[in-house]
Amino acid sequence: MNEALRQLPPLIASHLLLAAAAMALALAIGLPLGFASARRPRLAAISVGFAGLVQTIPGLALLALFYPLLLALSALIGGGIPALGFLPALLALTLYALLPILRNVVAGLRGIDPAVLQAAEAVGMTSGQRLRLVEAPLAAPVAMAGIRTAAVWTIGAATLATTVGYPSLGNPIFAGLQIERWDLVLAGCIAAALLALVSDFLLGLIERGIARRDRWRTLVGSALLMLGLGLACLPLLRGPERTVTIGAKNFSEQYILARLIGLRLERAGYRVAYREGLGSAVAFRALASGDIDVYVEYSGTLWTGTMGRTDNPPRQAMLGGIAHWMDAGPKTGLVGPLGFENAYALAVRPDSGLASIAELAAKAPDLTLGTDLEFGNRPEWRAIRDAYALRFKATRAYSPTFMYRALQSGQVDVISAFSSDGRIAADRLTVLDDPKGAMPHYDAILLASPAHAKDKPFLAALRPLVNRISVADMRTANFSVDRDSDKQTAEAAARWLDLRTRR
């Protein structure tokens, strides 16, 4: 729990900064739009209708939508707009906060007694005086209630900013969910809930101050709110000297390797930040655009996915092809392969007496294949099926955990595994050789952003990792994080790998 708590202060700071920026922007849009809408029914129908429509989009989807939108916009004006990180999170949260603000400002203004407005006109108020002296103070209590709602929503939804690579209290929540570390999940949830409660309390103080015309209460509430925001943001003041951002996709191996890279870079004097939980398709784009500086990719993913290739060259040719393609196109740098693969592989029980897929092919008609839920539809399966003319007695699909259990209990005889999965070592499974080289290669490769592709000190800090991580070590590290009991943190696993690779 202590380790979980130590991560929190900078995350609270960036979380609050995002929420506050989104609220400020939503107020800057919502207040004038609300005032304009209150007396124009058609504008009100459009603006409140639009804000309501936005509200029906799930928060995660709204954030995800901004990614392609900003990419397209950036391409349109010739680049320069970051599609990940602060900007998409800010825009999505602002839109989210708009509805309660807009609706309550309109409701507050429409609720003002018409006689009071007539009197304001009759005593000779200019429209500015009417706004300042009558409409704003009378609509304020209702508007404040909307602002409170918006603030609580925004602080809660800001946890989702993690998914577009902006550090927030969602970091421990998403990471904890992935590696089943409930203390991390709890720390993130409780911190976000406390922030929301405190903000709501202070805004409530201001709201009551306004409603009861108690200036003192309003001032104290505002001052405490500003003070809290300032204090929370103190960790950000330490400044980003030579900060590098390490990306990680959303599974244990990636979290461990990101921390390992972080250890090496910190030792070389860099300040390190992490963007974890990136979607698989998003990660490379984040690297190419410089939103992250370094991360671990798998060669086959780039080859078939990003590069759109359909052939299956041998290992070295694929790596050479990737290096060449990156040099010509996105200008990212291939630091080198780490030394292990995380590929689809076929695994059997140690007592099976099988060593390769070629041997398996002969016995396959008597055996049952267990797969994860997607293997049967993937090109990897078609590739080995056709290369070795595999035909099983039966095929059953499981969720990964149950797939390993099914192999152990003998319900199936062969499974589709990931070659670096820790359970292979734990269950002492045999990974079958692929003599025909039919399976595409998924070498773990270390990639650097365009800014660091030729950065010598940076590369010098990372090169010692190249070809130093064996698949056995990676399995052990993964298992120490994934197993059900005596779980290690990704950081602990990374420290262990660090020792192993320095020998």
Partner 1 sequence: MSTEALAYEQASRHYAGVVAVDCVSLAIARGSFVALVGASGSGKSTLLRLANRLDRPDRGRVLVDGTDVAQADPIQLRRGIGYVFQNIGLFPHLSVAENIGIIPRLAGREPVDVGAALDRVGLDRALADRLPAQLSGGQQQRVGIARALAGEGKLLLMDEPFGALDPITRATLGQTVRTLHDELRLTTIMVTHDMAEALLLADRVVVMRAGKIVADATPHALVAGEAGPEADALVAIPREQARKLTDLGS
- Least distance to partner 1, CB of residue 139, Å: 11
Binder to partner 1 among 25, 87, 125, 355 (CB under 8 A)?
A: 125
- Least distance to partner 1, CB of residue 142, Å: 13
Which residues, 6+ apart, have CB-to-CB distance to 382 below 8 Å? none
Closest to partner 1 by CB, 119 vs 223, is: 119
- Least distance to partner 1, CB of residue 214, Å: 12
Which residues, 6+ apart, have CB-to-CB distance to 398 below 8 Å? 370, 371, 372, 373, 406
Phi and psi at 329, nearest 5°, equal -105, -90
Q: Find the helix or strand (DSSP H, E) in which 4 lies.
A: helix 2-38
Which region, judged by CB under 8 A, interacts with partner 1, from 128-136, 146-154, 296-304, 320-328? 128-136
Which residues, 6+ apart, have CB-to-CB distance to 68 below 8 Å? 83
Binder to partner 1 among 5, 53, 60, 119 (CB under 8 A)?
A: 119
Which residues, 6+ apart, have CB-to-CB distance to 223 below 8 Å? none
Closest to partner 1 by CB, 5 vs 116, is: 116
Binder to partner 1 among 2, 56, 126, 399 (CB under 8 A)?
A: 126
Closest to partner 1 by CB, 69 vs 107, is: 107
Considering CB under 8 A, how many residues would be counted as binding partner 1?
A: 19
Q: Find the helix or strand (DSSP H, E) in which 75 lies.
A: helix 59-76
- Least distance to partner 1, CB of residue 100, Å: 23
Binder to partner 1 among 49, 52, 118, 227 (CB under 8 A)?
A: 118
Nearest to 489 by CA among 187, 195, 194, 287: 187
Instruction: Say if strands 368-371 and 414-418 run parallel, antiparallel, or are unpaired.
Output: parallel
Which region, judged by CB under 8 A, interacts with partner 1, from 63-71, 130-138, 317-325, 366-374? 130-138
Q: Sheet with 243-249: list strands edge to edge.
A: 271-278, 243-249, 294-298, 443-448, 333-341
User: Is there binding between residue 78 and partner 1 (CB under 8 A)?
Assistant: no
In order, the DSSP letters of 182-229 are: HHHHHHHHHHHHHHHHHHHHHHHHHHHHHHTT-HHHHHHHHHHHHHHH
Closest to partner 1 by CB, 115 vs 328, is: 115
Closest to partner 1 by CB, 133 vs 472, is: 133
User: Is there binding between residue 122 and partner 1 (CB under 8 A)?
Assistant: yes
User: Is there binding between residue 134 and partner 1 (CB under 8 A)?
Assistant: yes
Closest to partner 1 by CB, 87 vs 138, is: 138
Closest to partner 1 by CB, 113 vs 484, is: 113
Instruction: Say if strands 294-298 and 344-348 run parallel, antiparallel, or are unpaired.
Output: unpaired
- Cβ-contact 344, 378 below 8 angstroms: yes
- Least distance to partner 1, CB of residue 207, Å: 14
- Least distance to partner 1, CB of residue 123, Å: 5
User: Is there binding between residue 36 and partner 1 (CB under 8 A)?
Assistant: no
Which region, judged by CB under 8 A, interacts with partner 1, from 118-126, 198-206, 328-336, 472-480? 118-126
Closest to partner 1 by CB, 118 vs 467, is: 118
Tokens 């009197």 correspond to: 119
Q: Give the C-alpha separation, 222 to 220, whole Å.
A: 6
User: Is there binding between residue 132 and partner 1 (CB under 8 A)?
Assistant: no
User: Is there binding between residue 123 and partner 1 (CB under 8 A)?
Assistant: yes
SS3 at position 113: coil
Residue at 362: amino acid letter: A
- The distance of Cα 183 from the centroid of its chain, to the nearest Å, equals 19
User: Is there binding between residue 213 and partner 1 (CB under 8 A)?
Assistant: yes
User: Is there binding between residue 133 and partner 1 (CB under 8 A)?
Assistant: yes
Closest to partner 1 by CB, 130 vs 500, is: 130
Which region, judged by CB under 8 A, interacts with partner 1, from 119-127, 176-184, 186-194, 238-246? 119-127
Closest to partner 1 by CB, 134 vs 282, is: 134
- Least distance to partner 1, CB of residue 120, Å: 8
Nearest to 147 by CA among 194, 89, 107, 114: 107
Q: Give the C-alpha separation, 388 to 392, whole Å.
A: 12
User: Is there binding between residue 124 and partner 1 (CB under 8 A)?
Assistant: yes
Q: Give the C-alpha separation, 204 to 148, whole Å.
A: 7
Q: Which residues inside 347-366 make contact with partner 1, applying CB under 8 A?
A: none
Report helix angle 252-267 to 490-502, nearest 10: 60
- Least distance to partner 1, CB of residue 86, Å: 39
- Cβ-contact 138, 213 below 8 angstroms: no
- Burial, 344: exposed, middle or buried (Cβ in 10 Å; 0-12, 13-18, 19+)? buried
Closest to partner 1 by CB, 35 vs 344, is: 35
- Least distance to partner 1, CB of residue 119, Å: 3
User: Is there binding between residue 129 and partner 1 (CB under 8 A)?
Assistant: yes
Tokens representing 297 are: 């990719």
Binder to partner 1 among 21, 138, 358, 466 (CB under 8 A)?
A: 138
Interacting residues toward partner 1 by CB under 8 A: 113-116, 118-126, 129, 133-134, 137-138, 213
